């Protein structure tokens, strides 16, 4: 039987957050463990430059994110791990797909609207075209499923629309991909403002946990997290977003369901929940730092992993791109 193709990517900017880890990367690792899948994971560095980056920092971050993904358990023997800009087919397919995407569709994208408001001095074409490049990433590999957090689901919907539109015009070409959310933790919220997503660009550093934070920092941030009025520990994201977020983080860190956690905390206080949550997150992330340091001490090894990934990714991407060009009527 044909294996399912699983594709996802992460931007190598700033830090890898607890949200990235719970909502996406730990899910990738679990999917990789299931032998029924062909997994392909990328560093989306072309997406990163839609916001101005310092060149030296971007370079360092790309190396660092390779180490982070390996430390998280992405195994280059079992998955293809590569850097998006190494495979020029992404940019090329993006251009072709641009001609099958409407400006109105891009204007409606929530992330585009948010980022335009945040970076009003630099609303560049790349920022607007971001979802089309993402569609190109996914469609190049005939991906069946795309494991992401909730914030990326709208972009996957657009990738589906573009794939269907192209298939309708030229005949079966692309696989129409499905988004795949982790059961618990597909949207981890800021610890300081639990009504907004935990994000590496949070201006308040206490709202966000990096997977490389020390045990003390993790415990401090969770203990100081904003909770809600009342005393009862219940899962009610609308009325008790802070407590619900801690329950979600705790459940994912312990591999339990939120319902099990709610039951375990019956009659207990917010303080108890915070202590348990802090301990569980520290425990979950404990192996990270050590493994990360070991990978980082061998930059040549990391670049060799990327070079191998590039070759394997490009072999697939080149075939799809040639097929698309032929169908459109370009000379190949
Ligand atoms: P990025 O780099 O912002 O985030 C990487 C992954 O982490 C998820 N995520 C979260 N999940 C739960 N709670 C949170 N607080 C949280 N914050 C982030 C994101 O949903 C994502 O899955 N455009 C993408 C990268 C990309 C991509 C692709 C993804 C480029 N091409 C093709 C899938 C397929 C992005 O910026 O993710």
Ligand 1: centre distance to CA 195 (Å): 18
CA atoms within 13 A on the CB side of 14: 18
Closest C-alpha to ligand 1, atom 18: 20
- Which residues, listed in sequence order, are joined to residue 42 by a DSSP beta bridge? 9, 82
Q: How far apart are CA 11 and CA 244, in angstroms?
A: 27
Do residues 39 and 25 touch, judged by C-beta distance below 8 A? no
44 lines ligand 1 (CB under 6 A): yes
Q: How far apart are CA 87 and CA 41, in angstroms?
A: 13
Which helix (H) or strand (E) element contains residue 244? Answer: helix 241-254
- Can you give the pLDDT at residue 97? 98
The gap from C-alpha 173 to its chain's centroid, in whole angstroms, comes to 26
198 lines ligand 1 (CB under 6 A): yes
Active site residue: 3, 118, 200, 319, which one?
Answer: 200
Do residues 84 and 13 touch, judged by C-beta distance below 8 A? no
- Can you give the pLDDT at residue 2? 84
CA dist list (Å): 27 to 41, 56, 203, 272: 12, 30, 27, 27
**Ligand 1: nearest atom to the Cα of 151:** 20
By CB atoms closer than 10 A (0-12, 13-18, 19+), residue 215 is middle
For the whole model, what pTM was predicted? 0.97
Q: Is 125 left (phi over 0), alpha (psi -120 to 50) or beta?
A: alpha
Q: Residue 275 corresponds to which tokens in the numbers above?
A: 């202590």
Q: Is 324 left (phi over 0), alpha (psi -120 to 50) or beta?
A: alpha
Q: How far apart are CA 84 and CA 91, in angstroms?
A: 9
200 is catalytic: yes
Do residues 170 and 197 touch, judged by C-beta distance below 8 A? no
If you search the block for the tokens 């970076």, which residue do you land on? Answer: 119
Q: How far apart are CA 308 and CA 311, in angstroms?
A: 5
| Other Cβ atoms closer than 10 A to 217 | 15
Q: Residue 88 corresponds to which tokens in the numbers above?
A: 């020029």
By CB atoms closer than 10 A (0-12, 13-18, 19+), residue 177 is buried
183 is catalytic: no
| DSSP characters over 156-213 | HHHHHHHHHHHHHHHSS-S---EEE--SS-SSPBPSS-TTSB--TT-SSGGG--BTT-
Q: Output the tens digit of pLDDT for each of the chain's 332 residues.
A: 789 999 999 999 999 999 999 999 999 999 999 889 999 999 999 999 999 999 999 999 999 999 999 999 999 999 999 999 999 999 999 999 999 999 999 999 999 999 999 889 999 999 999 999 999 999 999 999 999 999 999 999 999 999 999 999 999 999 999 999 999 999 999 999 999 999 998 889 999 999 999 999 999 999 999 998 999 999 999 999 999 999 999 999 999 999 999 999 999 999 999 999 999 999 999 999 889 999 999 999 999 999 999 999 999 999 999 999 999 999 99
- pLDDT, tens digit, 9 for 90 and up, residues 130-163: 999 999 999 999 999 999 999 999 999 999 999 9
By CB atoms closer than 10 A (0-12, 13-18, 19+), residue 206 is middle
Ligand 1: centre distance to CA 19 (Å): 9
Active site residue: 2, 113, 115, 274, which one?
Answer: 115
Ligand 1: centre distance to CA 160 (Å): 17
């Amino acid at each position: 039987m044909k294996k399912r193709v699983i594709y996802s990517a992460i931007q190598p900017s700033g830090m890898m957050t607890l949200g990235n880890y719970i909502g996406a990367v730990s899910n990738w690792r679990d999917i990789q463990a299931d032998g029924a899948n062909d997994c392909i994971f990328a560093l989306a560095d072309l997406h990163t430059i839609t916001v101005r980056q310092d060149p030296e920092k971007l370079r360092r971050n790309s190396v660092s994110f390779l180490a982070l993904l390996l430390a998280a358990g992405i195994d280059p023997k079992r998955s293809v791990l590569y850097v998006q800009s190494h495979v020029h087919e992404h940019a090329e397919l993006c251009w072709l797909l641009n001609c099958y995407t409407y400006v109105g569709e891009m204007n409606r994208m929530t992330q585009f609207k948010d980022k335009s408001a945040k970076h009003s001095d630099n609303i560049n074409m790349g920022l607007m075209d971001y979802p089309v490049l993402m569609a190109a990433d996914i469609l190049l590999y005939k991906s069946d499923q795309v494991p992401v957090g909730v914030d990326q689901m709208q972009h996957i919907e657009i990738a589906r629309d573009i794939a269907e539109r192209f298939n309708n015009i030229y005949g079966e070409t692309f696989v129409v991909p499905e988004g795949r959310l982790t059961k618990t933790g597909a949207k981890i919220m800021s610890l300081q403002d639990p009504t907004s997503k935990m994000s590496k660009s949070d201006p308040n550093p206490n709202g966000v946990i990096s997977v490389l934070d020390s045990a003390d920092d993790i415990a401090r941030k969770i203990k100081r997290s904003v909770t809600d009025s009342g005393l009862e520990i219940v899962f009610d994201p609308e009325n008790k977003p802070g407590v619900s977020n801690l329950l979600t983080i705790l459940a994912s860190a312990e591999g339990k369901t939120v319902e099990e956690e709610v039951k375990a905390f019956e009659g207990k206080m917010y303080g108890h929940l915070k202590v348990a949550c802090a301990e569980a997150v520290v425990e979950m992330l404990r192996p990270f730092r050590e493994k990360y340091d070991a990978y980082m001490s061998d930059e040549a090894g990391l670049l060799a992993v990327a070079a191998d990934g590039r070759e394997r990714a490009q072999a697939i991407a080149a075939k799809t791109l040639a097929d698309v060009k032929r169908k459109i009527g370009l000379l190949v």
